[in-house]
């Protein structure tokens, strides 16, 4: 076995819990146990065929294991026949139980591991997601992790049991006829050399191609369906289809090579074995004389041969499958450990927000960028205050809010609550109601989008927020009311309706702090004004931070921060801002 297979097995082991490791050992032990029965049945069949040919051998064999030496030849054949039947029955019952145990155990580990992987992804630093395509996460959970269990882990168990059967059968054949050892050794050497030098590196390469092209297929498919409107209007349908087909063809090519090549070992082995049988018959013909005398010996060889052949083939196939799943195992391992290193949020049970949010001399730069997105930001926001943020596009407003939310980590300076608690904590997130500049709605009902993830929806709270965001009229006009499905990303709603659902969501959990990033940009003036009135009335003791391009949106804010090129240009008030605009 090549070292990368061994290190992949080691990686799989590291990804399992203690309990799962024991279960995996159980699977392997089960496989070995059933292979022992496989060997036992193979041996007894050989003996049985020999005894059928020479009944007096039966007495000899039974006497050898200390059983009734006064048995007649016929009776010993009878007992042997019964033993063959019973042993076969036991072997197949074990194999059936094993199939269920193996598959259910591996699939349980599969979904439990994916749950753990998702938990790690959920705790990841937000900045991590800004640096990579979301299809990668889907490919790791849906593709690589799946392959690691269904191909990688199953292959290890099967290789163990197949190699055990193979080894025993080889020993048996060699004991029966030592001269065959040389032939088997030669076949083993040819197969082993071909496997390690020829096949395994190829399967690793194809596995890598499959992995890469699957990711790009998924990425392009997601872009095709998400950007369908733009693709159609820009007349780029064919271009997107061609790009998808290019990667799809690469994936299919790798898949076809893998599957077709996996059929080759069987043909090679079959040819080698038939060659050996023919040779054995020819040699035995010379030694035993008439073919009839050879039936007993040959029957045994034939059985062992036909069990040995597919066994060897399966072993090679499983090794190839394992090798092709190595890239997936490596990626799952990397992702699982990398995610652990990027968990930056703290758990602070004693977290309190009673006085102030304080930004101290903050500098922030996005990954791989040459310029700071924020520079020298110092700001205090008192509890209960409402702050407006204005500034040209790209001036750093959303970045500033993301720092306050604790999603982004400044490379210099810090953001603290009440002078001691970092904003990069789970407890701070729980105090916030946030409406993003790019709203995300799930393909579910309006009510589920507002309560977002809550299993039991609080009807009273739901109705309150629906009224607060002026959605009552819309909901009353819908046949299914709040139970209407909004479509993927809210595709069946208008932009303003989507924004109001997002605002309702931010209010639903009655947060201490409301953060709106262009939350009302899609609303007409009248709806926005009414909505702002309700928000202000329900926000009496709340701290509000609001980004807006329309300055009138911020007319009730206590202070307005003007951003420019990543810095705070001035801190002013609505009236002042209006006045300076008039000048």
Ligand X SMILES: Nc1ncnc2c1ncn2[C@@H]1O[C@H](COP(=O)(O)OP(=O)(O)OP(=O)(O)O)[C@@H](O)[C@H]1O
Residues engaged in binding Mg ion (CB under 5 A): 398, 437
Task: In angstroms, give the least distance from the CB of 353 to Mg ion.
Answer: 24
Helix runs in 16-125, H state only: 18-53, 56-64, 73-122
End-to-end C-alpha distance for the chain, whole angstroms: 80
Q: How many CB atoms lie within 10 A of CB 289?
A: 10
| φ, ψ dihedrals at 405, nearest 5° | -70, -15
Which of the 8 DSSP states describes residue 478? S
Instruction: Pick one of 265, 311, 396, 496: the residue that binds ligand X (CB under 6 A).
Output: 396
Q: Is 263 in the site for ligand X (CB under 6 A)?
A: no
Nearer to ligand X, 366 or 426 (CB): 366
Nearer to ligand X, 335 or 372 (CB): 372
The site for ligand X, by CB under 6 A, has a size of: 13
- 3-state helix/strand/coil string of 142-163: HHHHHHHHHHHHHHHHHHHHHH
Residue whose pair of structure tokens reads 């003791």 in the numeric block: 541
Which of the 8 DSSP states describes residue 353? -
Instruction: Pick one of 135, 262, 386, 398: the residue that binds ligand X (CB under 6 A).
Output: 398
Q: Which of residues 370-389 bind ligand X (CB under 6 A)?
A: 373
Residue 366 binds which of Mg ion, ligand X, none (CB < 5-8 A, kind-dependent) = ligand X
Nearer to Mg ion, 195 or 373 (CB): 373
Which of the 8 DSSP states describes residue 568? E
Q: Which residues pair with 417 in a beta bridge?
A: 357, 421
Range in contact with ligand X (rule: CB under 6 A) among 142-150, 240-248, 365-373, 417-425: 365-373
| Strand arrangement of the beta sheet that strand 559-564 belongs to | 432-435, 513-517, 543-547, 386-391, 559-564, 567-572
Q: Is 181 in the site for ligand X (CB under 6 A)?
A: no
Which of the 8 DSSP states describes residue 523? S
Task: In angstroms, give the least distance from the CB of 547 to Mg ion.
Answer: 6
Q: What is the four-CA torsion angle of 7, 10, 11, 13, rounded to 10 degrees?
A: 160
State the Cα–Cα distance between residues 559 and 564, nearest whole angstrom: 16
Range in contact with ligand X (rule: CB under 6 A) among 177-185, 355-363, 397-405, 439-447: 397-405
Nearer to ligand X, 156 or 548 (CB): 548
Residue 395 binds which of Mg ion, ligand X, none (CB < 5-8 A, kind-dependent) = ligand X
Whats the size of the chain, residue-wise?
583
State the Cα–Cα distance between residues 498 and 487, nearest whole angstrom: 11
Instruction: Pick one of 393, 438, 477, 537: the residue that binds ligand X (CB under 6 A).
Output: 393
Q: Is 99 in the site for ligand X (CB under 6 A)?
A: no
Residue 458 binds which of ligand X, Mg ion, none (CB < 5-8 A, kind-dependent) = none
Q: Is 369 in the site for ligand X (CB under 6 A)?
A: yes
Nearer to ligand X, 191 or 563 (CB): 563
Instruction: Pick one of 323, 397, 498, 505: the residue that binds ligand X (CB under 6 A).
Output: 397
Pull the structure tokens for residue 116: 């753990």
Q: Which of residues 329-358 bind ligand X (CB under 6 A)?
A: none
C-alpha 303, offset from chain centre: 43
Q: Is 493 in the site for ligand X (CB under 6 A)?
A: no
Pull the structure tokens for residue 441: 């709605």
Q: Is 437 in the site for ligand X (CB under 6 A)?
A: yes
Nearer to ligand X, 378 or 437 (CB): 437
Q: Compute the half-sphere exposure of residue 493: CA atoms within 13 Å on the CB side of its CA.
A: 30
Q: Is 399 in the site for ligand X (CB under 6 A)?
A: yes
Q: Which of residues 109-148 bind ligand X (CB under 6 A)?
A: 130
Q: Which residues bind ligand X (CB under 6 A)?
A: 130, 366, 369, 373, 391, 393-399, 437
């Amino acid at each position: 076995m090549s070292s990368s297979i061994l290190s992949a097995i080691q990686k799989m082991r590291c990804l399992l819990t203690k309990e799962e490791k024991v279960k995996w050992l159980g699977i392997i032990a089960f496989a070995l146990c059933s292979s022992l029965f496989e060997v036992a049945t193979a041996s007894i069949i050989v003996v049985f065929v020999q005894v059928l040919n020479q009944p007096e051998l039966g007495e000899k064999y039974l006497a050898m294991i200390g059983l009734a030496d006064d048995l007649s030849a016929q009776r010993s054949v009878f007992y042997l026949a019964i033993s063959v039947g019973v042993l076969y029955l036991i072997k197949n019952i074990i194999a059936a139980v094993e199939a269920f145990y193996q598959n259910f155990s591996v699939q349980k580990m599969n979904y439990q591991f994916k749950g753990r992987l998702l938990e790690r992804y959920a705790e990841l630093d937000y900045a991590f997601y800004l640096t990579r395509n979301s299809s990668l996460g889907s490919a790791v959970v849906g593709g690589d992790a799946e392959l690691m269990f269904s191909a990688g882990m199953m292959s290890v168990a099967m290789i163990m049991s197949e190699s055990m059967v193979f080894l025993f059968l080889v020993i048996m054949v060699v004991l029966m006829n030592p001269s065959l050892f040389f032939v088997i050794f030669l076949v083993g050497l040819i197969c082993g050399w071909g496997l390690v030098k020829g096949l395994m590196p190829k399967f690793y390469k194809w596995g890598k191609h499959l992995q890469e092209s699957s990711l790009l297929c998924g990425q392009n498919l997601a872009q095709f369906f998400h950007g369908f409107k733009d693709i159609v209007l820009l007349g780029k349908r064919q271009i997107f289809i061609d790009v998808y087909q290019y990667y799809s063809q690469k994936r299919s090519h790798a898949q076809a090579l893998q599957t077709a090549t996996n059929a080759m070992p069987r043909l090679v082995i079959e040819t080698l074995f038939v060659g050996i049988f023919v040779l054995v018959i020819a040699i035995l013909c010379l030694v035993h004389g008439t073919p009839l005398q050879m039936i007993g010996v040959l029957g045994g060889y034939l059985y062992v041969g036909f069990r040995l052949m597919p066994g060897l083939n399966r072993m090679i196939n499983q090794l190839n499958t394992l090798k092709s799943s190595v890239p997936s195992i490596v990626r799952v391992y990397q992702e699982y450990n990398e995610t652990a290193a990027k968990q930056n949020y703290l758990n602070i049970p004693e977290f309190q927000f009673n006085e102030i949010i304080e930004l101290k001399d903050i500098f922030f730069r996005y990954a791989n960028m040459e310029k700071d997105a924020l520079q020298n930001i110092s700001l205090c926001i008192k509890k209960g205050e409402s702050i407006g943020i204005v500034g040209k596009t790209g001036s750093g407003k959303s970045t500033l809010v993301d720092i306050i939310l604790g999603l982004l980590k400044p490379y210099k300076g810090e953001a603290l609550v009440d002078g001691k608690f970092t904003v990069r904590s789970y407890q701070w997130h729980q105090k916030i109601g946030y409406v993003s500049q790019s709203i995300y709605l799930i393909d579910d009902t309006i009510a589920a989008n507002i309560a977002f993830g809550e299993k039991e929806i609080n009807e009273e709270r739901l109705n309150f927020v629906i009224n607060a965001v002026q959605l009552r009229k819309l909901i009353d006009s819908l046949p299914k009311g709040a139970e209407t499905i909004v479509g993927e990303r809210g595709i069946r709603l208008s932009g303003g309706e989507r924004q109001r659902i997002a605002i309702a969501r931010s209010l639903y959990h009655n947060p201490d702090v409301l953060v709106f990033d262009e939350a009302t940009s899609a609303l007409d003036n009248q709806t926005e004004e009414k909505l702002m009135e309700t928000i202000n009335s329900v926000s009496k003791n709340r701290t509000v931070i609001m980004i807006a391009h329309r300055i009138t949106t911020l007319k009730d804010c206590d202070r307005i921060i003007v951003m420019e090129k990543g810095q705070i240009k001035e801190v002013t008030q609505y009236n002042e801002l209006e006045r300076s605009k008039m000048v």
